């Protein structure tokens, strides 16, 4: 899938609108600097989707459409919408950081969100979120 400048601009505008209009109403930024604690039960959850070619391709497609505006093409947290956010998105290429996160923890964080990270649990099937996790795991190894 080729990413056009129009797509990036559209993503930027959408992310900016969400960040400026919706997220402050749902959750203040006061917790953005606190550690993002994951419940033990979520942390122990296992990824039921094997990290095979089809899963990775599907996860990448979802990432490009929904995560890239903030996390960037390579996952460094430098997407076009990141400039408008109060807190920089996580660097998914940081192998040291990513290795401390279980798949269950990532699933919970992606599902639940935390300002400015949107909540994705109602937007995608669980299987799709696991596929995104499979894909973002490849970003830390590409650095």
Q: What pLDDT shows up at residue 96? A: 93
pLDDT of 25 > 50? The answer is no
Closest C-alpha to 103, from 42, 56, 53, 35 = 42
CB 59 within 8 A of CB 131: yes
Domain that holds residue 109: 5-26+38-142
Does residue 64 fall inside a structural domain?
Answer: yes
Q: What pLDDT shows up at residue 115? A: 85
CATH of the domain at 76: 1.10.760.10
Which pLDDT tens digit goes with each residue over 77-123? 999 999 999 889 999 999 999 999 999 999 999 999 998 899 999 99
Does residue 63 fall inside a structural domain?
Answer: yes
Spatial distance between the Cα atoms of 29 and 27, rounded to a whole number of angstroms: 7
Closest C-alpha to 116, from 138, 83, 74, 94 = 83
Q: What pLDDT shows up at residue 141? A: 72
């Amino acid at each position: 899938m080729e990413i056009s400048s129009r797509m990036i601009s559209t993503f930027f505008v959408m992310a900016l609108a969400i960040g400026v209009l919706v997220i402050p109403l749902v959750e203040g930024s006061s917790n953005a600097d606190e550690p993002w604690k994951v419940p033990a039960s979520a942390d122990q959850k296992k990824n039921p989707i094997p990290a095979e070619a089809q899963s990775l391709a599907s996860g990448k497609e979802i990432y490009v459409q929904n995560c890239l505006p903030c996390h960037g093409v390579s996952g460094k947290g430098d997407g076009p919408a990141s400039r408008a956010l109060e807190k920089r998105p996580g660097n998914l290429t940081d192998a040291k950081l990513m290795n401390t996160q279980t798949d269950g923890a990532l699933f919970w964080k992606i599902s639940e969100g935390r300002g400015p990270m949107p909540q994705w649990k109602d937007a995608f099937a669980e299987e799709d979120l696991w596929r995104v996790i499979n894909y973002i795991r490849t970003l830390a190894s590409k650095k």
